[in-house]
């Protein structure tokens, strides 16, 4: 991604890379060692994306949009919103309601009723508390991006059907006790490929200029 971004020109077409990683913890630029509780035999890789530590592993769709924002005609805040919206629409395709939480990038679901459309009290809004409130929520998609010369890399990870135990070895995204879920644990049976296809389509549509 770094090589692609550093060598691309104004005429280089945008790309979307979608993959599935072997087990790995990735640490963002702001990452604190304290949030790595007991990584054990899972490697820890330092990256230059934003954010803290997260986990990637089999059963998770990882998508890396490589977008020239200057050419696309929108800014970073809009870019993040569009990625989150693509995840929300992907979840909706599978009958799950995704939510944004004020002050905490990524997408969350209600643990008691993942299908509920009721708006969260913790949703982004004017005068929202500064500290995120994750009460009753599980994180199902993590976001970490980097922008260089108006071009994006890194991206978003959607949990489909994975071993979630490694998340207990870290403070996910820097938040102690934040519960992480995937589609399978909230009762949605879907293949990696199907989730990948839907998310890829939503990202391609929503990230277009």
* pLDDT at residue 153, as a whole number: 97
Q: Give the burial class of 159: count Cβ atoms within 10 A of its Cβ; 0-12 exposed, 13-18 middle, 19 or more buried.
A: buried
Q: What is the pLDDT of residue 51?
A: 87
Q: Is 19 a catalytic residue?
A: no
The span from the first CA to the last CA of the chain, in angstroms, equals 21
CA dist., res. 131 & res. 32, Å (int): 18
Does pLDDT of 129 surpass 80? no
Determine contact, residues 21/56, Cβ cutoff 8 Å. Answer: yes
Work out the pLDDT band at 198, boundaries 50, 70, 90: very high
Q: CA-CA distance, 68 to 88, in Å (whole number)?
A: 23
Q: Is 6 helix (H, G, I), strand (E, B) or coil?
A: helix
Any residues with CB less than 8 A from the CB of 38 and at least 6 apart, and which? Answer: 169
Distance CA 18, CA 208 (A): 17
Residue 131's pLDDT is 85
What are the pLDDT digits (tens) for 154-165?
Answer: 999 999 999 999
Does the pLDDT at position 144 exceed 90? Answer: yes
pLDDT at res. 33? 87
- Look up residue 112 and give its two tokens: 């008691």
Structure confidence by residue, pLDDT tens digits, 48-94: 998 899 999 999 999 999 999 999 999 999 999 999 999 999 999 99
State the CB neighbour count (10 A cutoff) for residue 8: 17
Distance CA 48, CA 30 (A): 9
Lowest mean pLDDT among 65-74, 126-135, 170-179, 187-196: 126-135
pLDDT tens for each residue of 85-123: 999 999 999 999 999 999 999 999 999 999 999 999 999
- Which pLDDT value is given to residue 126? 85
The pLDDT score that the predictor gives to residue 173 is 86
Q: What separation in angstroms does the CA of 120 have from each of 110, 128, 183? A: 9, 12, 20
- The predicted model scores a pTM of 0.95
- Single out the catalytic residue among 66, 164, 173, 195: 173
Residue 30 has pLDDT above 90, yes or no: no
Reply yes or no on whether the pLDDT at 171 is more than 90.
yes
Domain 2-206: CATH superfamily is Bira Bifunctional Protein; Domain 2 (3.30.930.10)
């Amino acid at each position: 991604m770094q090589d692609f971004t550093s060598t691309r020109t104004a005429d280089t077409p945008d790309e979307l890379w979608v993959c599935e990683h072997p087990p790995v913890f990735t640490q963002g630029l702001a990452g604190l060692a304290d949030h790595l509780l007991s990584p054990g035999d899972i490697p820890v890789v330092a990256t230059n994306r934003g954010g803290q530590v997260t986990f990637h592993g089999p059963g998770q769709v990882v998508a890396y949009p490589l977008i020239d924002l200057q050419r696309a005609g929108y800014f970073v805040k809009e870019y993040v919103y569009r990625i989150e919206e693509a995840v929300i629409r992907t979840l909706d395709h599978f009958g799950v309601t995704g939510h944004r939480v004020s002050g905490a990038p990524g997408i969350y679901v209600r643990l008691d009723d993942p299908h509920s459309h009721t708006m969260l009290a913790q949703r982004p809004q004017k005068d929202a508390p500064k500290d995120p409130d994750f009460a009753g929520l599980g994180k199902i998609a993590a976001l970490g991006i980097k922008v260089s010369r108006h071009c994006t890399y890194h991206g978003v990870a959607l949990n489909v059907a994975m071993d979630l135990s490694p998340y207990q070895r870290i403070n996910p995204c820097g938040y102690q006790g934040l519960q992480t879920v995937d589609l399978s644990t909230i009762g949605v049976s879907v293949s990696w490929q199907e989730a990948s296809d839907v998310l890829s389509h939503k990202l391609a549509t929503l990230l277009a200029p």
